Structure 1
Amino acid sequence: MVGGIRAAALLRRTGVVCCAAFLLAACEEKNTYVAPPPPTVTVAEVIQQPVTTYLELTGNTASINSVDLNARVQGFLTSINYADGQVVKKGDLLFVIEQDVYKADVAQAKATLAAKQASQVQAEAEFNRQNQLAKQDFASQATLDQARAKRDGAVADVQNAQASLDLALINLGYTEVRAPFDGVVTAHLQDVGALVGYSGPTKLATIVEVNPIYVWFSLSEQQVLNIKEGMAKAGHQMMTLRENPSAVPVEIGLQTETGFPHQGKLDYIAPQVDPNLGTLTVRGIFDNSKLSLLPGLFARVRLPLGKAVPTLLVPDSIISENQLGPYVLTVSADNTVSQVQIKQGQLQPNGLRAVEGGLKEGDRVVVNGIQRAVPGSKVTVEKGAITAPVQPTPVEGQSPAVPVPAAPKN
């Protein structure tokens, strides 16, 4: 019994000694800092694609023709032959003014003309008879002259009567107000039974031609000079554009539309810059057979400044700004992050931004994890890609237009 107790005490002393030795050995080891792994970012190589540079402006749509329909003769309005806001064709009958008086004037003028024509026949016969008698010395020269004067007077009376008949027919024609061209007619301003034309022309309605439709916009003086300089470098003159403005395509989009879905062509360029505003007025013309465009709308206008040229593209979402301007983060071959200032160009419809300086094809830019990429630090790279721009689909039946030569940027 005594031996067992001594053995247990010996074991306890041995355990204490071993624990103390282990703790002493542990205290002799040094603590070392282990750096965390580099952050992971997604990079993609800058791509180069053909891109057309555009000049984006603002303008307004306008009708190609707008005419007030007036009552030009006096009378009561007897009928309105269209529905307010109706699309009509050229020559369609729209209003009728009472015609009884004007038909009677026509009949009276016809009767007067017939009487004058009869008098002319009689005067012509009398002149011929006196002429024959004068040749045979049976009539005096005074009698012949008198017969000739009556004949000439009868001819003038016939001409006067014919003019009166023509005037009566014109006035009768004014009792029918017809559409001068295809268009949309506004609400009528006079009701059936109203007396119109009693103190001058009376406005009945307005007809507006909306197919095709114009878009008016202005170029600043600087933009005009840039275009002129660009054309000169391409071997063209501004007069070439004036002689054939329809060679330049124009695109527009409304406020609620995405992009520029309406395609047209340049139609008119003002001959001079407005010295007060410093702008040059330009007009485009667009097909509007579906009547999707209304006169007076605000429109975003886009003009091409040249043919498509190879251009570097990056996602617009990766571009940041600092005091020096826009910049992107790039990753070198050894996975070191750098901050590169760029000169950004036009934003493309698919969200890519043209880059005109600061990058070259093949550079790797950070497209995801930008907040984890610190300039000068290392990163772990995951490979990504930049989607190529989607080329616009041409409108069916539209011939490709020749773009304006490229103009230099400011």
Structure 2
Amino acid sequence: MQLSGFRPAVAAALLFVLPLAACGDAPQQTQAAPPAPKVTVAKPVRKLVSDYDEYVGRFVALDFVEVRARVSGYLDQIHFVDGQLVKEGDKLFTIDRRPFEASLEQAKAALEQARANLAFAEADLKRGSHLVPGTSITQQTLDQRTQAKRVAEASVMSQEAALKQAELDLQFTELKAPISGRIGDRRVSIGNLVTGGATGTTTLLATVASVDPIRFEFTMDEASYLRYLNAATAQASSSANRGMSLPVKLKLIDEDKFIHEGKIDFVDNAIDRSSGTIRARAEFKNSDGKLTPGMFGRIQITIAPPEMALLVPDSAIGTEQVRKFVFAVSEDQVANPKYVTLGPVVDGLRVVTGLDANDTVVVNGLMRVRPGVKVAPETATATSDSKDQVVGTN
């Protein structure tokens, strides 16, 4: 058997296979690790803060009066400009006085007539009382003169009352401001018939609302009410505000800070069964008249003395189901979660418990961090800005 033709073929095959085997034995190159995520870190802010609650409510006027006429007649004059400030006693409306002046003169005349009748009855009785009964005058005649005198006295009293009523009616033709405050617009124009009296069909002419001070009404839940009672003094429990002499501040919807200071002056006498809340009221100064009845506001009630607390921006807080956490960066630049309890917001920062003042927390780039992963931190100061615009370098 000849193998001369087989050997060259095997040699060629071996030359092809050996390079492939050499390639398979070469070590594989490892994939490069991803760079550490860049984050912004900061120390928690230490600040003296107070524990407080916030509620939304509305302003109400201390006094609010509907101006209505007490007598009927045609409206003759209007003495104010719609919306102006008025003082107590300022003249607002005048009803045509002429009919009431005539009625007053009639009442005066009727009184004079009654007094004349009384004078005659007194003189007639005096003459009869000097006569001997049963001779010149009968007892019946004497009794009649006595009765006439009493009737004349009653008529004088009646006419005096009618005169006082006529004088009052004439005074009621001029409607004056019952309180100081801001008047609304006129509801009736000059020349219209105004219905007065004590019935429910009287004509509404205008309204006046007091300006300074002003009240703010809000509702608090039962748990907060009990907490405030515990903080109040026992000696003041019989007062109108249940002893809740707690500092209160207020801000309007266009204000960033609580700049209006006031005091609680009233707490209702029952908790509403349907909502489980109780109505309360605070009083504020309003010298510039900016606070208006019906306006919304937010009230802040301080319930504890100021204490030192740690604050971080809301952008540093993450959520794990029902728990809240922040990423704390160690000295070797490894981020690990630290669970915290949230408090109120103070000057744009969130009060948290569960942190140490020396902790370094991630304030921006929270979504790029994973537990136990090394990060590339850049140091900044904790602010209320929740965007990735906090700048600073280590």
TM-score range, shorter chain: 0.7 to 0.9
Contact 2:233 2:243 in 1 (8 A): no
- CA drift of 1:103 comes to 0.3
State the partner residue of 1:84.
Answer: 82
Distance 2:241 2:297 in 1: 26
Moved more, 183-192 or 159-168: 183-192
Q: TM-score scaled by structure 2?
A: 0.76
- CA drift of 1:94 comes to 1.3
Among 322, 342, 349, the alignment partner of 1:352 is: 349
1:353 corresponds to which letter in structure 2? R
Distance 2:132 2:342 in 1: 102
Distance 1:217 1:32, change over 3 A: closer
Contact 1:245 1:268 in 2 (8 A): no
Distance 2:228 2:360 in 1: 33
State the partner residue of 1:272.
Answer: 270
Number of aligned positions between the proteins: 353
State the partner residue of 1:202.
Answer: 203
State the partner residue of 1:375.
Answer: 371
- Matched ranges for 1:384-399 at <5 A: 385=381
Distance 1:241 1:171, change over 3 A: closer
Distance 2:167 2:233 in 1: 59
Percent of aligned pairs sharing the same letter: 36
Distance 1:55 1:193 in 2: 54
Distance 1:329 1:108, change over 3 A: same
Q: Does 1:313 align with 2:311?
A: yes
- CA drift of 1:42 comes to 5.6
State the partner residue of 1:248.
Answer: 246
State the partner residue of 1:5.
Answer: none
Distance 1:71 1:235 in 2: 47
Render the CA deviation track for 1:111-134: whole Å, top value 9, x for unaligned.
211222233233334444544556
Contact 1:245 1:266 in 2 (8 A): no
Distance 1:256 1:196, change over 3 A: same
Distance 2:34 2:202 in 1: 90
Distance 1:246 1:96 in 2: 46
Distance 1:241 1:248 in 2: 14
Render the CA deviation track for 1:4-46: whole Å, top value 9, x for unaligned.
xxxxxxxxxxxxxxxxxxxxxxxxxxx9999899777664443
Distance 1:209 1:129, change over 3 A: same
Q: Does 1:364 align with 2:360?
A: yes
SS of 1:211 mapped into structure 2: coil
Contact 1:73 1:201 in 2 (8 A): no
1:295 corresponds to which letter in structure 2? P
State the partner residue of 1:104.
Answer: 102
1:72 corresponds to which letter in structure 2? R
Contact 2:312 2:382 in 1 (8 A): yes
Distance 1:304 1:134 in 2: 92
Contact 1:245 1:269 in 2 (8 A): no
- CA drift of 1:143 comes to 4.7
Moved more, 241-250 or 77-86: 241-250
Among 112, 115, 124, the alignment partner of 1:114 is: 112
Contact 1:134 1:141 in 2 (8 A): no
Distance 1:226 1:218, change over 3 A: closer
- CA drift of 1:259 comes to 2.6
Render the CA deviation track for 1:182-229: whole Å, top value 9, x for unaligned.
122222222222222289522222223333322222223xxx234414
State the partner residue of 1:326.
Answer: 324
Contact 1:72 1:202 in 2 (8 A): no
Distance 1:58 1:242, change over 3 A: same
Distance 2:289 2:232 in 1: 38
Q: Which runs of 5+ in 1 are unaligned?
A: 1-30, 389-410
Distance 2:231 2:292 in 1: 39
Distance 1:227 1:238 in 2: 15
SS of 2:158 mapped into structure 1: helix
SS of 2:210 mapped into structure 1: strand
Distance 2:170 2:370 in 1: 87
Distance 1:198 1:323 in 2: 67
- Matched ranges for 1:172-321 at <5 A: 172-197=170-195, 201-220=202-221, 224-229=222-227, 231-232=229-230, 236=234, 239=237, 242-244=240-242, 247-321=245-319
2:334 corresponds to which letter in structure 1? T
SS of 2:328 mapped into structure 1: strand
Q: Which runs of 5+ in 2 are unaligned?
A: 1-28, 385-394
Contact 1:267 1:284 in 2 (8 A): yes
Distance 1:42 1:74 in 2: 77
- CA drift of 1:91 comes to 1.3
- Matched ranges for 1:42-191 at <5 A: 43-131=41-129, 133=131, 141-191=139-189
- CA drift of 1:162 comes to 0.7
